[in-house]
Structures are given as C-alpha cells and as structure tokens.
Amino acid sequence: MTGRQSNKWARRFFAIWSVQAVSLLGSSVAQFAVVWWLTDTSGSAVVLATATLVAMLPQVLLGPFVGALVDRLDRRKVMIIADSVVAAFGLLLAMLFWTDRVQIWHLYVIMAARSLGGAFHWPAMQASTTLMVPEDNLPRVSGLNQALQGASQIISPPLGALLLALLPLHGMMMIDVVTAAIAVMPLFFIPIPQPEQAAEVAEAGAVAPLRRLWNDTREGLGYIWHWKGLRQVVTMAAGMNLIWAPAFTLMPLLVRNYFQRGALELGYTQAAWGAGVIAGGLSLAVIGGGRRPMRRALFLLIVQGLLILLVPSAPSNALWMALIGLATGGAVNAMVNGMFMAFMQKQVEPGKQGRVFTALSSFSGAMMPLGMVLAGPVAEAFGIRAWFFAAGVSSVLMACLGLLSRSIMSLDQDGAARLEGNGSGAPVEPAQADTLAPASAE
C-alpha cells in the first residue's frame, strides 16, 4: 500500500471516528446528568433499576436481529438514521427540562428509544470499520476504541459534575444533541464500502431478505448453543450479569446514602473504574493473552471478585478504599474481557462475527433485566452493599466452576475449536461433562 493510499483510508476513517468520539463524550456527560437527576429526585433504587432496565432491553432483545439486519443494509444510512434518532430524542428531553415538564416516565421512554438507536449504530460502526481499515491496522484501531471507552469513563463523570454546577439540565442535554449532530455530518460526504452480499439481497425481492435475516439470526444463536464450551462461558457471564448489573446501577445511591457524598464523588467512582479499564487494556496489549488465555482469564476473574469486595467492605468515611477496589477491579475486568474477545476473534470466521457477537451480547446480557427487576426490592430489604458483596462472591464462584469444567478448559487446547461442519457452523468438541450448563441444556 502506498503512502498516499494509506493516508486516504486514514483521512476517511478518522474523520468519522473522531466525531463519533466527540459524540460518545457528549452522550456520556448527558447520561451522567440524567442519572444524577433521577437519584436526587427520587432517591429510589427501584427508579434507578427501572431506568437501567428500559435502556438495556432493546439491545438485549433485538441484538441478534439487529446484527443480522445491519449486514444486509447500507451501513452509512444505518448510522445516519441511528445518530439522528438519538439526537432527536435528546432534543425532546432538553425541551422537557427547559419547560419543567419532565417526569420520570418521560425518561424511561426516551432512554429506550435512544438505546434502540445505539443498538443499530454499534454493529454498523464495527462492520464499517472492518471495511474501511486495512487488515493490518485493525488491531491498532481496536486499541484506540478500548482507550476511548476508558477515557470516556474517566472524563465524563467529573466533567458532568462540573457542568451540572454551571449549566441547567436542558443545557446539559443540548450538549448531547450538538455532538450527535456533529457526528452525523461527515457521514453525508464520506463513502463507506458495503459488503457484496448487500447488492445480492437487494435484488432478491421483498421476501428473501426477511428469510435471510431470520436464517442469519438463527445461525448466530445456534453457533453459540452448539459449542458446548462457549455455551458454558456464556452461562457464566449471564449468571454474573444477574448480580453485577444491579450493583453498578445502584452506585449513585451507595455514594449518596452510604458514603454521604455528592455528584462529584460519584464521578470519582466512575473515573476510577475507567482508569482501571485503560490500565488493564494497556497491560494486556503488552503481555498478551498467553498460551492458555481461558485459564488465565478465570484466575483473573477470581482476583476481580476479591478486589471488588473492597467496595462494600469500605467504612462509610473511607471512600478512597472503594475507589481502589474499583480501579483495580476495572483493570482486571478489562484484561478478562480482552482475553475472551481476542479468543473469539481468532476462532469465529470473519463472515459470521457480526451475527455471532450480537448474539453473544444478547445471551450474556439475558439475565440483566431480571437483575434490574430484583435490584430495588433486594436493596431496600438487605441494603445496597449486599449487591456488591454478591458481585464479588459471584465472580469467585463462577471462576471456580469454570476451572472445574472440562469443556471450558478444552477451549485452550490446540484444535479444540476447529470447524468440522456439524450443520450449525459451530466448532465440534469431544464429548465431555457439562459442568456449567443447565440440566435441561442437553
């Protein structure tokens, strides 16, 4: 590739990536303001849990279909529409705050609509990245994305707390609207390559795309279900999400009610986790996954559980102790997730990664809505710290079960994930004990 060609793809891609980064920061700042408004207005664990639930359901329920659908549509148009929808509902929320007519149920509806837009935008952006960026530069771009997520978690909470002291809530929402509008503009002028199959589907008529969409969705789900070791890992992730999602949803109440602190300190907790994510991601980039990444990930999961126990164990006047637990736990969490995603990127053929990854996300997040339903009543009955104790213990327990599972341990063996055409597209494994999957799974 010549230097001129290299500069051409870089100019196009980073023109889109950079404004998307700005939009991500604007959305994170606005989300911080909304969460704090809900916390300060209601003081209710049920309200916070419900808000997280409605923002989560569109992606959990529609993820497998969205991933397959994005493969069949013009990715540029998908991103334009998705960003525009997010901006429109952000503008509506700004008007509600400006006129002082906002109610909690308004936020529920708007958060669900924005989540639906994000459910389309994320896979479209990931698929477009694969088509726009040369293959040898994809790891670098992936590293930039990880760093961007961690940086957003560090910057947006304290920035959000600062802006809350300077701007009214409708002004905070307008930041999100403006940054989303900025993110849309380059998409009107920069072409994005489309996969060849998109043209084939467009010529197949109105019925064939729907049939192919269903087949693609079913294939992504079946790929996970028929791979025993992967199915067990997803079962573990779902069990942990049942506990972890409510715990971190209730963080604002833990900061306000237990530590007796305000929005600034809530920003510290989120920034601590984000700093840990960046440190963990960079550490993984240096040391790599090793020869047995799944085993190492499970041992790190035990460490993560022990570290997160620092949060509920901290005395009410020792927020610093909780911040240490969050920062170190976030670092280990990034390493665990990074090892697993690197394994999946290596084993799943590129043509199926979109549908498999969205199905994987939906499977692992399937228990999160139930956790949100339980979050409020359990927190009011046993206290908010109980969720964080449960989160730490669940990490240790799930990791130990994983180390005892022959199916999961076989994922580290050479050739264990070799494709052998079993009709589902998933790898075939030797018959082994099914340690983690439900008894009805077989």
Q: What is the pTM of this model?
A: 0.65
Is the pLDDT higher at 354 or at 264?
Answer: 264
How many angstroms separate the Cα of 223 from the Cα of each of 158, 219, 231, 233? 42, 6, 9, 13
User: Which residues belong to CATH 1.20.1250.20 in the chain?
Assistant: 1-203, 214-442
- Burial of 350: CB neighbours in 10 Å, binned 0-12, 13-18, 19+: exposed
Q: Rounded CA gap, 143 and 165, in Å?
A: 34
What is the pLDDT averaged over residues 379-397? 87
Cβ–Cβ < 8 Å for 361, 59? yes
pLDDT tier, 439 (very low <50, low <70, confident <90, very high otherwise)? very low
Cβ–Cβ < 8 Å for 243, 382? no
Look at the block and give the residue holding tokens 């590293």.
143
Q: Was domain 214-442 assigned CATH 1.20.1250.20? A: yes
- Centroid of chain to Cα 188: 27
pLDDT tens for residues 292-335? 777 888 899 999 999 999 999 999 899 999 999 999 998 888 88
pLDDT tier, 433 (very low <50, low <70, confident <90, very high otherwise)? very low
Length of the chain: 442
The DSSP secondary-structure symbol of 437 reads S
Q: Rounded CA gap, 293 and 343, in Å?
A: 8
- Can you count the helices (H) and strands (E) in the chain? 18, 0
Average pLDDT, the chain: 76
Q: Rounded CA gap, 377 and 121, in Å?
A: 34
What is the pLDDT averaged over residues 253-270? 84
4-8, 127-131, 181-185, 328-332: least confident range? 4-8
Cβ–Cβ < 8 Å for 220, 64? yes
What is the pLDDT averaged over residues 227-241? 82
pLDDT surpasses 50 at 200: no
How many angstroms separate the first and last alpha carbons of the chain? 50
Q: What is the CATH number assigned to the segment(s) 1-203?
A: 1.20.1250.20
pLDDT tier, 201 (very low <50, low <70, confident <90, very high otherwise)? very low
- Burial of 171: CB neighbours in 10 Å, binned 0-12, 13-18, 19+: middle
Cβ–Cβ < 8 Å for 156, 23? no
pLDDT tens for residues 271-297? 888 888 888 877 776 675 566 777 888
What is the pLDDT averaged over residues 210-222? 70
Cβ–Cβ < 8 Å for 220, 359? yes
